[in-house]
Structure 1
Amino acid sequence: MTKLQRKTYSYMFLLPAALIYFVIFVLPTIMSFFFSMTRWSLTEYEFIGFDNFIAFFQEPSLVIGFQNTFVYALVTCVLKVVLGLLLGVLLTSKIRTKGYLRSVIFFPTLVSTIAVGLAFSMMMHPTQGLINTTLQMLGIAGPDWLGDKSIALLSVALVDVWKGVGFATVIYIAGILSIPEEYYEALQMDGGNALHKFWNIIVPLSRPATNSVIILAFIGGLRSFDLIWAMTKGGPGFSTDLIASIIYKQYQGGFYGLATAGNVILFIFVTLLAFPLQMYLNRKEVDL
């Protein structure tokens, strides 16, 4: 067998995966770019160039949509990193119930996002919800969590964190458990305490896990839609509208070409933010 034949034979094993990737990802992406420049329905289309992009950028709620999307992604990302790290440290310590606690913390990740949104919508009801009823029993007047424009986006973000922090915790547990015991033994010989262990060993040596959580949480926040739609549908007003919810409203109105252009813009927006962030984090990891 010649060198070319061996090389071709090796690539043949990649062909099924490459075909699946092309059909599921590459082809729909190419079609999205094409149909974003058309006025289309399920049976016909008309090429109109960049008119959909121009119309999408003239959307009145677009500016606040971009702002809300970035704030939502930033808040959820930071909280998942911080809470995931702290819970990861707790659940790798010598506590008897850590196996049970790991299951409890990871459980919300397995629940449907729509179900979580609907459940918390009822719990956050200003007068009949469980949260405000409990606060009232303690003599505290609870706010209108989803009806107050100033806190509605933060309220949904906190629910997102509650649901997703378990996945971040699992990544941190894997990262912390991969740290060699020799580092802890050396720290103990030097007289280091628990704070030194956390700050000088766990934080720097779990950086690969931190990078993974940052990328996944940030991209997930930028693309978030289902939880927002289940809880607020973008309201009150435009206070919780994200780019994805604006796009969905265009689909609901029958503006399929305009909504497809919005999806392309969202794809470019996520790429422009996430790719440089990933490059920066990877470079910092190599420097370490």
Structure 2
Amino acid sequence: MNKNMNNMYPYFFLIPAILIYGTFFLVPTALSFFYSFTWWTLTDWEFIGFDNFIQFFQEPSLRIGFRNTLVFAFTTMGGKVILGLALAVFLTSKIRNKDLLRSIVFFPALLSTIAVGYTFSSMMHPTKGVINTILSFIGITGPNWLGNPDIALLSVAMTDIWKGVGIATVIFIAGLMAIPTHYYEALKIDGGSALQAFWHITLPLSRPAMNTVIILALIGGLRTFDLVWAMTGGGPGFSTDLLASIVYKQYAAGFFGLSTAGNVLLFLFVALVAFPIFKFINRKEVDL
């Protein structure tokens, strides 16, 4: 008996974590799946089967929402990977004031997303915004960044990249600093160039960090709501509507069951997109 208790003793420390995880994740997730099949309010509910899902798929903006969500997620993910890796290579090179520059790059990640959204929406104003004012000084007529349906989603995506590239850079810096320096020394002795060092050493050996950035940025992009809502509210028209903003509109209109079904679909959509990509990019990693 005492031996069994000794074997179980370490697992007792998991109980607080299990309770917190179950209370704030497992239980709400299970309730979301249940209430997606109901018509419900704060005081009452009625089981209606798949009616919420059928109605949600009849939303006129849903097709645009799926397309916009994929475009936004892959655009922001690509931008964070490319810029994050470039900044990490620069910030791990032999430059002065390295720590200060790293702090400046990471600073946007500390800001409130809503505050960033309102700030950039003001900066992107077609006539009074700072961006178009600067462009006018050099003879360029700036576009209506958030009012033009053709570029509004891209404008929001660029803002998201600006805010999130700092985290990607930090992850890449950690990955680059873990690469043994003797690889670079051996290549230098063999007469290799800086480009060859990047292509044959830095890029393959930073793959674990790159995989982390890809998955985090992709899932974050698929779930984005707050930045889009602060900058455009899903407009003009449905041009910047994402799945998350469509769900929010249903909730704000009082269709709680419908919005819950949308949340379930968003959860499944993120899983169906992210999981295969996660399996693909982690098939083979380079060992140091």
Name the structure 2 match of 1:64: 64
Cα distance in structure 1, aligned partners of 2:58 and 2:141 = 40
Name the structure 2 match of 1:205: 205
1:193-213 C-alpha deviation (Å, 9 max, x unpaired): 111111111100010000000
1:6 Cα offset (Å)? 3.3
CA RMSD, 1 decimal? 1.2
Cα distance in structure 1, aligned partners of 2:19 and 2:75 = 38
Q: After TM superposition, list the pairs within 5 Å mapping 1:194-233 onto structure 2.
A: 194-233=194-233
Gaps of 5+ in 2: none
Q: After TM superposition, list the pairs within 5 Å mapping 1:27-38 onto structure 2.
A: 27-38=27-38
Cα distance in structure 1, aligned partners of 2:7 and 2:264 = 37
Among all aligned residue pairs of Structure 1 and Structure 2, give the percentage whose two residues are the same amino acid: 66
Cα distance in structure 1, aligned partners of 2:27 and 2:126 = 46
Counting matched residue pairs gives 288
Cα distance in structure 2, aligned partners of 1:238 and 1:273 = 22
Name the structure 1 match of 2:118: 118
1:13 Cα offset (Å)? 1.6
Name the structure 1 match of 2:154: 154
1:10 Cα offset (Å)? 2.3
- The code of the aligned residue for 2:162 comes to W
Moved more, 136-145 or 11-20: 11-20
Cα distance in structure 2, aligned partners of 1:287 and 1:104 = 32
1:97-133 C-alpha deviation (Å, 9 max, x unpaired): 2111101110000000000000000000001100001
Name the structure 2 match of 1:129: 129
State whether structure 2 residue 86 is matched by structure 1 residue 82: no
1:222 Cα offset (Å)? 0.1
State whether structure 2 residue 264 is matched by structure 1 residue 264: yes
1:227-276 C-alpha deviation (Å, 9 max, x unpaired): 00000000000000000000000011000000000000000000111111
Name the structure 2 match of 1:167: 167
Please report the TM-score for the alignment, with normalisation by the length of structure 2: 0.98
Cα distance in structure 1, aligned partners of 2:59 and 2:37 = 17
**Contact 2:205-2:286 at 8 Å conserved across structures:** no
Cα distance in structure 1, aligned partners of 2:10 and 2:96 = 49
Cα distance in structure 1, aligned partners of 2:284 and 2:150 = 36
Q: Secondary structure at the match of 1:8?
A: helix
1:287 Cα offset (Å)? 8.6
Cα distance in structure 2, aligned partners of 1:259 and 1:133 = 41
Cα distance in structure 1, aligned partners of 2:135 and 2:282 = 44
Gaps of 5+ in 1: none
Cα distance in structure 1, aligned partners of 2:45 and 2:284 = 47
Please report the TM-score for the alignment, with normalisation by the length of structure 1: 0.98
